[in-house]
Amino acid sequence: CQHIERWVTPRSRYPDGRAGYLAWRRDLKRYHAERAGEILAGLGYPRDVIARVQALVR
């Protein structure tokens, strides 16, 4: 899940350095969890499975 649509949020949009990197990774985790949930819901997975996957990705 951590690579879903990674191009949507390029690293270059964030400042150089550790703080920028950590902010980028934090935002990617949130985005990937959301997208994974959307994809799984579209495939008919139960809500508890979706929630667990999202928790693992975050």
The beta strand positions in 1-58, using DSSP E, are none
Examine residue 34 and state whether it is found in any structural domain, yes or no: yes
Query: Domain total for the chain?
Result: 1
Please check whether residue 51 lies inside any domain of the structure: yes
pTM value is: 0.84
Number of other residues whose CB lies within 10 A of the CB of residue 57: 19
Supply 16's token pair.
Answer: 């150089």
Q: Which domain holds residue 45?
A: 29-58
In a domain, 36, yes or no: yes
Q: Are 22 and 52 in contact (CB under 8 A)?
A: no
Residue 1 counted as domain residue: no
Which has the higher per-residue pLDDT, 5 or 47? 47
Average pLDDT, the chain: 94
Band of the pLDDT at 1, cuts 50, 70, 90?
confident
The position carrying tokens 């550790």 is: 18
Give the helix/strand (H/E) hosting 52.
helix 47-57
pLDDT in tens, 7-30: 899 999 999 999 999 999 999 999
CA 35/CA 46 separation, integer angstroms: 15
Task: For residue 54, tell me if it sits in a domain.
Answer: yes
